[in-house]
Amino acid sequence: MAISRFSRRALSVIVLGVAVPALLLAAVGVFLTLRIARAIENETIRYNTYLAQQVAEAFEQELMAHMRRGIGPAENAARMGAGLPEVVRALESEAAEFEGTHFVPLEELDGYSLLIVEALPLVYAPGAGARKDQYFAGLLLRDPDGQVIGAGGWWIDARKFLSAHLDPVVQERLPGNPRLYGGFESTRKLSVALYAPDGAEIGRVRTPVTQRTARSEPLAGPFENYSVRVSPTSSGSVVWTGRFVTIEIAFIVLMSLVILAATVFGLRYTVRQLELAQLKSGFVSNVTHELKTPIALIRLAVETLEMRRYSTPEEGERFIHAIGRETLRLSQLVDNILDFARLEAGQRVFRFESVDLVQVVREALESFRPRLEHQGFELIVEIPDQLPPVSGDPTALTHCVLNLLDNAIKYSRTRREVRVAAGTRGSFVTVSVGDKGIGISPGDQKSIFEKFVRLETGLVHDVKGAGLGLSLVDQIIRAHGGRVEVESVPGEGSTFTLVLPAAGGMVSEHMETRERTAS
Ligand code: ADP
Protein backbone atom coordinates (compact mmCIF):
# COMPACT_ATOMS: atom_id res chain seq x y z
CA MET A 1 0.00 0.00 0.00
CA ALA A 2 1.22 3.51 -0.84
CA ILE A 3 0.76 4.69 2.75
CA SER A 4 2.92 2.06 4.31
CA ARG A 5 5.62 2.76 1.74
CA PHE A 6 5.30 6.43 2.58
CA SER A 7 5.35 5.80 6.32
CA ARG A 8 8.50 3.71 6.00
CA ARG A 9 10.17 6.48 4.01
CA ALA A 10 8.87 9.17 6.38
CA LEU A 11 10.05 7.10 9.31
CA SER A 12 13.56 6.82 7.92
CA VAL A 13 13.64 10.54 7.04
CA ILE A 14 12.44 11.58 10.50
CA VAL A 15 14.69 9.07 12.26
CA LEU A 16 17.69 10.16 10.19
CA GLY A 17 16.86 13.85 10.22
CA VAL A 18 15.67 14.34 13.79
CA ALA A 19 16.12 11.37 16.09
CA VAL A 20 19.66 10.40 15.07
CA PRO A 21 21.11 13.96 15.28
CA ALA A 22 19.25 14.50 18.57
CA LEU A 23 20.66 11.30 20.01
CA LEU A 24 24.15 12.13 18.70
CA LEU A 25 23.97 15.57 20.30
CA ALA A 26 22.78 14.02 23.54
CA ALA A 27 25.65 11.51 23.44
CA VAL A 28 28.16 14.35 22.80
CA GLY A 29 26.59 16.28 25.69
CA VAL A 30 26.94 13.30 28.04
CA PHE A 31 30.51 12.67 26.83
CA LEU A 32 31.61 16.30 27.38
CA THR A 33 29.93 16.44 30.78
CA LEU A 34 31.72 13.27 31.84
CA ARG A 35 35.03 14.65 30.52
CA ILE A 36 34.61 17.86 32.54
CA ALA A 37 33.65 15.84 35.62
CA ARG A 38 36.70 13.63 35.13
CA ALA A 39 39.00 16.68 34.80
CA ILE A 40 37.59 18.15 38.02
CA GLU A 41 38.01 14.78 39.72
CA ASN A 42 41.67 14.54 38.65
CA GLU A 43 42.29 18.08 39.80
CA THR A 44 40.69 17.27 43.16
CA ILE A 45 42.84 14.16 43.56
CA ARG A 46 45.96 16.26 42.90
CA TYR A 47 44.83 18.90 45.38
CA ASN A 48 43.99 16.30 48.03
CA THR A 49 47.47 14.77 47.65
CA TYR A 50 49.02 18.23 47.92
CA LEU A 51 46.96 19.07 50.97
CA ALA A 52 47.79 15.76 52.68
CA GLN A 53 51.50 16.65 52.22
CA GLN A 54 50.84 20.08 53.69
CA VAL A 55 49.16 18.51 56.73
CA ALA A 56 52.10 16.11 57.21
CA GLU A 57 54.50 19.06 57.09
CA ALA A 58 52.30 21.07 59.44
CA PHE A 59 52.53 18.28 62.04
CA GLU A 60 56.32 18.31 61.84
CA GLN A 61 56.30 22.10 62.25
CA GLU A 62 53.97 21.76 65.22
CA LEU A 63 56.36 19.35 66.86
CA MET A 64 59.27 21.67 66.10
CA ALA A 65 57.45 24.64 67.56
CA HIS A 66 56.80 22.75 70.79
CA MET A 67 60.34 21.45 71.00
CA ARG A 68 61.82 24.88 70.31
CA ARG A 69 59.79 26.33 73.10
CA GLY A 70 60.83 23.54 75.49
CA ILE A 71 64.51 23.27 74.57
CA GLY A 72 65.44 26.96 75.18
CA PRO A 73 66.60 26.71 78.84
CA ALA A 74 68.47 23.40 78.19
CA GLU A 75 70.20 24.93 75.16
CA ASN A 76 71.27 27.94 77.22
CA ALA A 77 72.56 25.71 80.03
CA ALA A 78 74.60 23.59 77.57
CA ARG A 79 76.03 26.71 75.83
CA MET A 80 77.12 28.05 79.18
CA GLY A 81 78.93 24.78 79.87
CA ALA A 82 76.61 23.58 82.67
CA GLY A 83 76.86 19.94 83.75
CA LEU A 84 74.59 17.15 82.59
CA PRO A 85 72.26 17.20 85.65
CA GLU A 86 71.60 20.91 85.09
CA VAL A 87 70.82 20.38 81.40
CA VAL A 88 68.41 17.54 82.30
CA ARG A 89 66.76 19.69 84.95
CA ALA A 90 66.35 22.50 82.40
CA LEU A 91 64.72 19.98 80.04
CA GLU A 92 62.40 18.81 82.82
CA SER A 93 61.19 22.32 83.54
CA GLU A 94 59.63 22.60 80.09
CA ALA A 95 58.47 19.01 79.67
CA ALA A 96 54.74 19.55 80.19
CA GLU A 97 53.91 18.70 76.60
CA PHE A 98 55.92 15.47 76.55
CA GLU A 99 56.17 12.18 78.40
CA GLY A 100 59.65 12.01 79.89
CA THR A 101 62.91 13.95 79.76
CA HIS A 102 65.91 12.35 78.12
CA PHE A 103 69.45 13.38 77.26
CA VAL A 104 71.49 11.28 74.84
CA PRO A 105 75.23 11.83 75.08
CA LEU A 106 77.16 12.31 71.84
CA GLU A 107 78.78 8.87 71.86
CA GLU A 108 75.35 7.20 72.02
CA LEU A 109 73.77 9.21 69.20
CA ASP A 110 74.87 6.60 66.64
CA GLY A 111 71.60 4.63 66.43
CA TYR A 112 69.53 7.79 66.24
CA SER A 113 68.12 9.35 63.10
CA LEU A 114 68.39 12.91 62.02
CA LEU A 115 65.49 14.70 60.47
CA ILE A 116 65.79 18.19 59.05
CA VAL A 117 62.70 20.28 59.58
CA GLU A 118 62.82 23.91 58.52
CA ALA A 119 66.64 23.68 58.37
CA LEU A 120 66.78 22.52 62.01
CA PRO A 121 68.21 19.08 62.76
CA LEU A 122 65.65 17.07 64.71
CA VAL A 123 66.86 13.87 66.32
CA TYR A 124 64.61 10.95 66.96
CA ALA A 125 65.03 7.36 67.92
CA PRO A 126 63.18 4.72 65.96
CA GLY A 127 63.56 0.98 66.42
CA ALA A 128 65.95 0.03 69.22
CA GLY A 129 66.05 3.51 70.65
CA ALA A 130 62.28 3.66 71.16
CA ARG A 131 60.43 2.90 74.34
CA LYS A 132 57.26 0.88 73.93
CA ASP A 133 55.08 2.81 71.45
CA GLN A 134 57.09 5.94 72.12
CA TYR A 135 59.80 7.74 70.25
CA PHE A 136 62.53 9.97 71.50
CA ALA A 137 62.34 13.36 69.88
CA GLY A 138 64.89 16.04 70.59
CA LEU A 139 67.31 18.67 69.32
CA LEU A 140 71.10 18.70 69.24
CA LEU A 141 72.69 20.60 72.11
CA ARG A 142 76.05 22.36 71.79
CA ASP A 143 78.72 23.40 74.31
CA PRO A 144 80.18 26.94 74.56
CA ASP A 145 82.57 26.11 71.68
CA GLY A 146 79.71 25.20 69.43
CA GLN A 147 80.53 21.48 69.56
CA VAL A 148 77.62 19.03 69.70
CA ILE A 149 77.60 17.39 73.11
CA GLY A 150 74.49 15.26 72.60
CA ALA A 151 70.77 15.52 72.08
CA GLY A 152 68.25 16.74 74.60
CA GLY A 153 64.57 15.98 74.24
CA TRP A 154 61.59 13.93 75.40
CA TRP A 155 59.83 10.65 74.86
CA ILE A 156 56.69 11.35 72.94
CA ASP A 157 53.57 9.28 72.33
CA ALA A 158 53.03 9.95 68.62
CA ARG A 159 49.38 8.85 68.71
CA LYS A 160 48.56 11.15 71.61
CA PHE A 161 50.47 14.08 70.12
CA LEU A 162 48.81 13.70 66.72
CA SER A 163 45.30 13.36 68.07
CA ALA A 164 45.77 16.28 70.49
CA HIS A 165 47.18 18.55 67.76
CA LEU A 166 44.94 17.51 64.84
CA ASP A 167 42.44 20.30 65.36
CA PRO A 168 44.89 23.20 65.80
CA VAL A 169 47.00 21.94 62.88
CA VAL A 170 44.07 21.66 60.47
CA GLN A 171 42.02 24.62 61.68
CA GLU A 172 44.79 27.13 62.47
CA ARG A 173 48.26 26.21 61.36
CA LEU A 174 47.25 25.06 57.87
CA PRO A 175 44.95 27.95 56.91
CA GLY A 176 47.49 30.32 58.44
CA ASN A 177 50.15 29.15 56.02
CA PRO A 178 50.47 32.05 53.53
CA ARG A 179 51.94 29.75 50.87
CA LEU A 180 49.01 27.35 50.91
CA TYR A 181 47.76 26.91 47.36
CA GLY A 182 43.96 27.10 47.19
CA GLY A 183 43.75 29.07 50.40
CA PHE A 184 41.76 28.81 53.56
CA GLU A 185 38.35 28.41 51.86
CA SER A 186 39.42 25.25 50.02
CA THR A 187 40.66 23.59 53.20
CA ARG A 188 37.28 24.15 54.85
CA LYS A 189 35.62 21.94 52.24
CA LEU A 190 37.91 19.02 53.04
CA SER A 191 37.93 16.34 55.67
CA VAL A 192 41.30 15.45 57.25
CA ALA A 193 41.69 12.14 59.07
CA LEU A 194 44.64 10.55 60.87
CA TYR A 195 45.37 6.83 60.75
CA ALA A 196 47.52 4.78 63.14
CA PRO A 197 50.01 2.16 61.86
CA ASP A 198 47.35 -0.54 62.43
CA GLY A 199 44.98 1.33 60.09
CA ALA A 200 42.63 2.56 62.83
CA GLU A 201 41.36 6.11 62.57
CA ILE A 202 42.67 8.14 65.50
CA GLY A 203 40.87 11.37 64.78
CA ARG A 204 39.42 13.56 62.08
CA VAL A 205 38.22 17.03 61.25
CA ARG A 206 34.94 17.13 59.30
CA THR A 207 33.13 14.15 57.81
CA PRO A 208 34.03 12.85 54.36
CA VAL A 209 31.26 11.96 51.86
CA THR A 210 33.22 10.03 49.29
CA GLN A 211 36.53 8.20 49.28
CA ARG A 212 36.80 8.23 45.47
CA THR A 213 39.05 11.26 45.33
CA ALA A 214 40.52 10.80 48.83
CA ARG A 215 44.30 10.69 49.03
CA SER A 216 46.68 9.57 51.86
CA GLU A 217 50.17 10.74 52.71
CA PRO A 218 52.54 9.00 55.14
CA LEU A 219 53.95 11.05 58.03
CA ALA A 220 57.67 11.05 58.75
CA GLY A 221 60.11 11.11 61.67
CA PRO A 222 58.58 10.42 65.07
CA PHE A 223 55.22 9.94 63.34
CA GLU A 224 56.56 7.19 61.07
CA ASN A 225 53.89 4.69 59.86
CA TYR A 226 51.08 7.10 60.70
CA SER A 227 49.24 8.64 57.78
CA VAL A 228 46.95 11.51 56.99
CA ARG A 229 43.99 11.17 54.61
CA VAL A 230 42.29 14.08 52.84
CA SER A 231 38.81 13.60 51.33
CA PRO A 232 36.02 15.90 50.14
CA THR A 233 33.12 16.85 52.41
CA SER A 234 29.56 17.36 51.16
CA SER A 235 30.39 20.95 50.20
CA GLY A 236 33.49 19.93 48.23
CA SER A 237 33.59 21.01 44.59
CA VAL A 238 33.96 17.45 43.33
CA VAL A 239 30.84 16.42 45.25
CA TRP A 240 28.90 19.30 43.76
CA THR A 241 30.22 18.45 40.33
CA GLY A 242 29.04 14.87 40.85
CA ARG A 243 25.55 16.12 41.70
CA PHE A 244 25.47 18.46 38.70
CA VAL A 245 26.68 15.69 36.41
CA THR A 246 23.91 13.36 37.61
CA ILE A 247 21.29 16.08 37.14
CA GLU A 248 22.66 17.06 33.75
CA ILE A 249 22.85 13.49 32.47
CA ALA A 250 19.32 12.80 33.75
CA PHE A 251 18.21 15.98 31.99
CA ILE A 252 19.94 15.05 28.72
CA VAL A 253 18.49 11.51 28.83
CA LEU A 254 15.02 12.90 29.57
CA MET A 255 15.36 15.41 26.74
CA SER A 256 16.40 12.65 24.33
CA LEU A 257 13.43 10.57 25.41
CA VAL A 258 11.10 13.53 24.88
CA ILE A 259 12.59 14.18 21.44
CA LEU A 260 12.26 10.50 20.56
CA ALA A 261 8.69 10.35 21.83
CA ALA A 262 7.82 13.58 19.98
CA THR A 263 9.38 12.15 16.81
CA VAL A 264 7.43 8.92 17.09
CA PHE A 265 4.15 10.67 17.93
CA GLY A 266 4.71 13.30 15.25
CA LEU A 267 5.41 10.60 12.73
CA ARG A 268 2.39 8.57 13.73
CA TYR A 269 0.20 11.64 13.60
CA THR A 270 1.46 12.63 10.13
CA VAL A 271 1.05 9.12 8.80
CA ARG A 272 -2.42 8.88 10.32
CA GLN A 273 -3.43 12.18 8.70
CA LEU A 274 -2.15 11.01 5.35
CA GLU A 275 -3.91 7.70 5.75
CA LEU A 276 -7.09 9.53 6.64
CA ALA A 277 -6.73 11.80 3.62
CA GLN A 278 -6.32 8.75 1.41
CA LEU A 279 -9.18 6.92 3.13
CA LYS A 280 -11.37 10.01 2.68
CA SER A 281 -10.73 10.16 -1.03
CA GLY A 282 -11.52 6.42 -1.23
CA PHE A 283 -14.64 7.13 0.80
CA VAL A 284 -15.86 9.79 -1.63
CA SER A 285 -15.51 7.48 -4.61
CA ASN A 286 -17.13 4.62 -2.64
CA VAL A 287 -20.05 6.78 -1.60
CA THR A 288 -20.53 8.13 -5.12
CA HIS A 289 -20.62 4.62 -6.39
CA GLU A 290 -22.91 3.51 -3.55
CA LEU A 291 -25.36 6.30 -4.32
CA LYS A 292 -25.26 5.93 -8.07
CA THR A 293 -25.88 2.20 -8.20
CA PRO A 294 -29.24 2.09 -6.37
CA ILE A 295 -30.39 5.26 -8.16
CA ALA A 296 -29.59 3.69 -11.53
CA LEU A 297 -31.40 0.49 -10.56
CA ILE A 298 -34.44 2.40 -9.29
CA ARG A 299 -34.56 4.46 -12.48
CA LEU A 300 -34.34 1.36 -14.60
CA ALA A 301 -37.13 -0.34 -12.63
CA VAL A 302 -39.35 2.75 -12.75
CA GLU A 303 -38.82 3.14 -16.51
CA THR A 304 -39.56 -0.52 -17.07
CA LEU A 305 -42.77 -0.26 -15.03
CA GLU A 306 -43.80 3.01 -16.71
CA MET A 307 -43.34 1.61 -20.18
CA ARG A 308 -44.74 -1.74 -19.08
CA ARG A 309 -41.78 -3.56 -20.50
CA TYR A 310 -42.51 -6.74 -18.57
CA SER A 311 -44.46 -9.74 -19.72
CA THR A 312 -45.95 -11.27 -16.55
CA PRO A 313 -47.39 -9.68 -13.37
CA GLU A 314 -44.69 -11.60 -11.35
CA GLU A 315 -42.00 -9.88 -13.36
CA GLY A 316 -43.62 -6.55 -12.54
CA GLU A 317 -43.63 -7.48 -8.85
CA ARG A 318 -39.91 -8.20 -9.07
CA PHE A 319 -39.24 -4.67 -10.29
CA ILE A 320 -41.36 -3.21 -7.49
CA HIS A 321 -39.36 -5.33 -5.00
CA ALA A 322 -36.15 -4.08 -6.54
CA ILE A 323 -37.29 -0.48 -6.04
CA GLY A 324 -38.11 -1.23 -2.38
CA ARG A 325 -34.77 -2.97 -1.79
CA GLU A 326 -32.67 -0.28 -3.41
CA THR A 327 -34.59 2.48 -1.63
CA LEU A 328 -33.83 0.77 1.70
CA ARG A 329 -30.16 0.57 0.77
CA LEU A 330 -30.11 4.22 -0.22
CA SER A 331 -31.84 5.37 2.96
CA GLN A 332 -29.47 3.30 5.11
CA LEU A 333 -26.46 4.81 3.38
CA VAL A 334 -27.84 8.33 3.71
CA ASP A 335 -28.63 7.66 7.39
CA ASN A 336 -25.06 6.46 7.93
CA ILE A 337 -23.57 9.49 6.24
CA LEU A 338 -25.79 11.93 8.14
CA ASP A 339 -25.15 10.19 11.43
CA PHE A 340 -21.45 10.16 10.77
CA ALA A 341 -21.42 13.87 9.88
CA ARG A 342 -23.34 14.71 13.07
CA LEU A 343 -21.07 12.57 15.25
CA GLU A 344 -17.95 14.09 13.68
CA ALA A 345 -19.27 17.60 14.25
CA GLY A 346 -20.21 16.68 17.82
CA GLN A 347 -23.83 17.52 17.01
CA ARG A 348 -25.31 14.08 17.43
CA VAL A 349 -27.70 14.28 20.36
CA PHE A 350 -28.95 11.00 21.78
CA ARG A 351 -32.42 10.95 23.30
CA PHE A 352 -32.02 8.56 26.19
CA GLU A 353 -35.02 6.61 27.38
CA SER A 354 -35.69 3.14 28.73
CA VAL A 355 -35.25 0.84 25.74
CA ASP A 356 -36.39 -2.75 25.34
CA LEU A 357 -33.67 -4.34 23.22
CA VAL A 358 -35.98 -7.26 22.28
CA GLN A 359 -38.15 -4.72 20.54
CA VAL A 360 -35.15 -3.06 18.86
CA VAL A 361 -33.83 -6.38 17.53
CA ARG A 362 -37.25 -7.50 16.31
CA GLU A 363 -37.80 -4.23 14.44
CA ALA A 364 -34.42 -4.44 12.78
CA LEU A 365 -35.08 -8.06 11.83
CA GLU A 366 -38.46 -7.14 10.35
CA SER A 367 -36.95 -4.62 7.99
CA PHE A 368 -34.23 -7.09 6.98
CA ARG A 369 -36.37 -10.22 6.68
CA PRO A 370 -37.37 -9.66 3.01
CA ARG A 371 -33.74 -9.08 2.02
CA LEU A 372 -32.57 -12.14 3.96
CA GLU A 373 -35.28 -14.29 2.43
CA HIS A 374 -34.65 -12.96 -1.01
CA GLN A 375 -30.96 -13.78 -0.81
CA GLY A 376 -31.60 -17.27 0.59
CA PHE A 377 -30.25 -16.74 4.11
CA GLU A 378 -31.15 -19.00 7.00
CA LEU A 379 -31.99 -16.75 9.93
CA ILE A 380 -31.52 -18.16 13.42
CA VAL A 381 -32.96 -15.97 16.15
CA GLU A 382 -32.22 -16.67 19.80
CA ILE A 383 -33.80 -13.91 21.81
CA PRO A 384 -35.71 -14.13 25.08
CA ASP A 385 -39.22 -12.76 25.48
CA GLN A 386 -37.95 -10.18 27.86
CA LEU A 387 -34.66 -8.44 28.59
CA PRO A 388 -33.77 -5.89 31.25
CA PRO A 389 -34.22 -2.41 29.81
CA VAL A 390 -31.22 -0.34 28.84
CA SER A 391 -31.00 3.40 28.89
CA GLY A 392 -30.49 4.51 25.30
CA ASP A 393 -31.63 6.07 22.08
CA PRO A 394 -33.84 3.48 20.35
CA THR A 395 -33.27 4.88 16.85
CA ALA A 396 -29.48 4.85 17.27
CA LEU A 397 -29.51 1.32 18.72
CA THR A 398 -31.74 0.05 15.88
CA HIS A 399 -29.30 1.66 13.50
CA CYS A 400 -26.46 -0.35 15.09
CA VAL A 401 -28.28 -3.68 14.71
CA LEU A 402 -29.18 -2.79 11.10
CA ASN A 403 -25.54 -2.09 10.29
CA LEU A 404 -24.43 -5.40 11.79
CA LEU A 405 -27.12 -7.28 9.84
CA ASP A 406 -26.14 -5.47 6.65
CA ASN A 407 -22.49 -6.49 7.12
CA ALA A 408 -23.44 -10.09 7.94
CA ILE A 409 -25.25 -10.31 4.61
CA LYS A 410 -22.61 -8.39 2.64
CA TYR A 411 -19.66 -10.42 3.86
CA SER A 412 -21.16 -13.92 3.53
CA ARG A 413 -20.28 -16.14 0.64
CA THR A 414 -21.89 -19.51 0.02
CA ARG A 415 -22.73 -20.41 3.63
CA ARG A 416 -25.71 -18.16 4.08
CA GLU A 417 -26.61 -18.21 7.73
CA VAL A 418 -27.22 -15.27 10.04
CA ARG A 419 -27.63 -15.83 13.77
CA VAL A 420 -29.10 -13.08 15.93
CA ALA A 421 -29.00 -13.59 19.69
CA ALA A 422 -29.68 -11.50 22.77
CA GLY A 423 -29.19 -12.16 26.46
CA THR A 424 -27.60 -10.91 29.65
CA ARG A 425 -24.04 -11.03 30.99
CA GLY A 426 -23.71 -9.86 34.59
CA SER A 427 -25.10 -6.35 34.68
CA PHE A 428 -24.94 -6.06 30.90
CA VAL A 429 -27.38 -6.82 28.12
CA THR A 430 -25.92 -8.28 24.92
CA VAL A 431 -27.07 -8.42 21.34
CA SER A 432 -25.03 -10.38 18.81
CA VAL A 433 -25.14 -10.84 15.07
CA GLY A 434 -23.16 -13.76 13.68
CA ASP A 435 -22.47 -14.99 10.17
CA LYS A 436 -20.60 -17.77 8.45
CA GLY A 437 -18.94 -15.41 6.00
CA ILE A 438 -15.42 -14.47 5.07
CA GLY A 439 -14.29 -13.63 8.62
CA ILE A 440 -11.69 -11.08 9.73
CA SER A 441 -8.06 -11.80 10.56
CA PRO A 442 -7.05 -11.07 14.19
CA GLY A 443 -4.73 -8.26 13.05
CA ASP A 444 -7.63 -6.38 11.42
CA GLN A 445 -10.20 -6.84 14.17
CA LYS A 446 -9.35 -3.49 15.75
CA SER A 447 -8.90 -1.32 12.67
CA ILE A 448 -12.31 -2.18 11.17
CA PHE A 449 -13.87 0.11 13.79
CA GLU A 450 -11.97 3.10 12.45
CA LYS A 451 -13.75 5.46 10.08
CA PHE A 452 -13.37 4.84 6.31
CA VAL A 453 -11.51 1.58 6.88
CA ARG A 454 -12.39 -1.22 4.48
CA LEU A 455 -10.27 -4.33 4.42
CA GLU A 456 -8.67 -5.16 1.14
CA THR A 457 -9.30 -8.86 1.39
CA GLY A 458 -11.83 -11.48 0.43
CA LEU A 459 -15.08 -10.20 -0.89
CA VAL A 460 -14.61 -6.60 -0.03
CA HIS A 461 -13.64 -5.63 -3.56
CA ASP A 462 -16.99 -6.86 -4.85
CA VAL A 463 -19.04 -5.59 -1.94
CA LYS A 464 -20.23 -2.01 -1.66
CA GLY A 465 -19.55 0.01 1.40
CA ALA A 466 -18.28 3.33 2.66
CA GLY A 467 -16.33 2.07 5.65
CA LEU A 468 -18.59 3.94 8.05
CA GLY A 469 -20.92 1.30 9.49
CA LEU A 470 -18.74 -0.21 12.23
CA SER A 471 -17.22 3.14 13.14
CA LEU A 472 -20.74 4.45 13.74
CA VAL A 473 -21.77 1.35 15.69
CA ASP A 474 -18.70 1.69 17.88
CA GLN A 475 -19.23 5.40 18.55
CA ILE A 476 -22.94 4.97 19.32
CA ILE A 477 -22.39 2.02 21.69
CA ARG A 478 -19.56 3.86 23.47
CA ALA A 479 -21.84 6.87 23.91
CA HIS A 480 -24.22 4.43 25.65
CA GLY A 481 -21.47 3.31 28.06
CA GLY A 482 -21.05 -0.05 26.31
CA ARG A 483 -18.61 -1.75 23.96
CA VAL A 484 -18.59 -3.77 20.75
CA GLU A 485 -16.88 -7.16 20.78
CA VAL A 486 -15.84 -9.11 17.73
CA GLU A 487 -15.06 -12.80 17.46
CA SER A 488 -13.99 -13.94 14.07
CA VAL A 489 -12.07 -16.69 12.29
CA PRO A 490 -11.05 -15.98 8.69
CA GLY A 491 -13.02 -18.22 6.37
CA GLU A 492 -15.32 -19.37 9.20
CA GLY A 493 -17.39 -16.30 9.99
CA SER A 494 -17.76 -13.45 12.45
CA THR A 495 -19.90 -12.54 15.43
CA PHE A 496 -20.29 -8.92 16.52
CA THR A 497 -21.71 -8.41 20.01
CA LEU A 498 -23.09 -5.17 21.40
CA VAL A 499 -22.57 -5.09 25.18
CA LEU A 500 -24.73 -2.46 26.91
CA PRO A 501 -25.13 -1.72 30.63
CA ALA A 502 -28.57 -2.62 31.95
CA ALA A 503 -30.51 0.41 33.17
CA GLY A 504 -30.98 -0.93 36.71
CA GLY A 505 -27.48 -2.35 37.33
CA MET A 506 -27.53 -6.10 38.16
CA VAL A 507 -30.11 -8.12 36.29
CA SER A 508 -31.96 -11.26 37.20
CA GLU A 509 -31.94 -14.41 35.13
CA HIS A 510 -34.41 -14.34 32.29
CA MET A 511 -36.11 -17.26 30.77
CA GLU A 512 -34.84 -17.69 27.25
CA THR A 513 -37.36 -18.80 24.70
CA ARG A 514 -35.93 -19.62 21.38
CA GLU A 515 -37.39 -18.85 18.08
CA ARG A 516 -36.03 -20.40 14.96
CA THR A 517 -36.92 -19.15 11.52
CA ALA A 518 -35.65 -20.76 8.42
CA SER A 519 -36.00 -19.04 5.12
P1 ADP B 1 -18.35 -1.16 5.03
O2 ADP B 1 -19.10 -2.43 5.27
O3 ADP B 1 -19.22 -0.08 4.53
O4 ADP B 1 -17.12 -1.35 4.24
P5 ADP B 1 -17.97 -1.13 7.90
O6 ADP B 1 -17.44 -0.08 8.79
O7 ADP B 1 -19.32 -1.63 8.20
O8 ADP B 1 -17.84 -0.58 6.43
O9 ADP B 1 -16.98 -2.34 7.95
C10 ADP B 1 -15.60 -2.11 7.83
C11 ADP B 1 -14.89 -3.32 7.24
O12 ADP B 1 -14.95 -4.40 8.19
C13 ADP B 1 -15.57 -3.89 6.01
O14 ADP B 1 -15.10 -3.20 4.86
C15 ADP B 1 -15.15 -5.32 6.06
O16 ADP B 1 -13.85 -5.46 5.51
C17 ADP B 1 -15.06 -5.64 7.53
N18 ADP B 1 -16.29 -6.30 8.04
C19 ADP B 1 -17.33 -5.74 8.66
N20 ADP B 1 -18.25 -6.66 9.02
C21 ADP B 1 -17.78 -7.85 8.60
C22 ADP B 1 -18.28 -9.20 8.65
N23 ADP B 1 -19.45 -9.50 9.20
N24 ADP B 1 -17.51 -10.17 8.11
C25 ADP B 1 -16.30 -9.88 7.56
N26 ADP B 1 -15.79 -8.64 7.46
C27 ADP B 1 -16.52 -7.63 7.97
**pLDDT tens, per residue, the chain with 519 residues:** 445 555 567 667 777 787 788 888 888 988 998 999 899 889 989 989 999 999 998 898 888 888 888 888 898 999 998 888 898 888 888 777 787 888 888 888 888 888 888 778 888 887 666 777 778 889 999 999 989 999 998 888 889 899 999 999 998 888 777 777 777 677 788 899 999 999 999 999 999 988 888 999 999 888 888 999 999 888 777 888 888 889 988 998 898 888 888 888 888 888 888 878 877 777 777 778 778 878 988 998 999 999 988 888 888 888 898 898 889 888 888 888 888 888 777 777 788 899 999 999 998 998 888 788 888 899 999 999 899 999 999 988 998 999 999 999 989 988 999 999 999 999 999 999 999 999 999 999 999 998 878 887 655 556 667 788 899 899 899 999 999 999 999 999 999 999 999 987 544 444 333 333 333
Q: Does the Cβ of 433 fall within 6 Å of ligand 1? A: no
Relative to the CA of 493, which ligand 1 atom is closest? Answer: 24
HEC secondary structure over 94-124: CHHHCCEEEEEEHHHHHHCEEEEECCEEEEE
Q: How far apart are CA 261 and CA 28, in angstroms?
A: 20
Share of the chain above pLDDT 90, in %: 33
322 — phi, psi (to 5°)? -60, -40
Q: How far apart are CA 140 and CA 152, in angstroms?
A: 6
pLDDT the model gives residue 4: 54
Report how far ligand 1's centroid is from the alpha carbon of 516 (Å).
26
pLDDT the model gives residue 457: 66
Relative to the CA of 470, which ligand 1 atom is closest? Answer: 6
Q: Does the Cβ of 435 fall within 6 Å of ligand 1? A: yes
Of 448, 451, 462, the one to substitute when testing ligand 1's pocket (max ligand atoms within 8 A of C-beta) is 448
pLDDT the model gives residue 470: 93
Residue 156's H or E segment, with its range, is strand 148-156
Relative to the CA of 449, which ligand 1 atom is closest? Answer: 6
End-to-end CA, the chain = 41
Return the CA Rg of the chain.
50
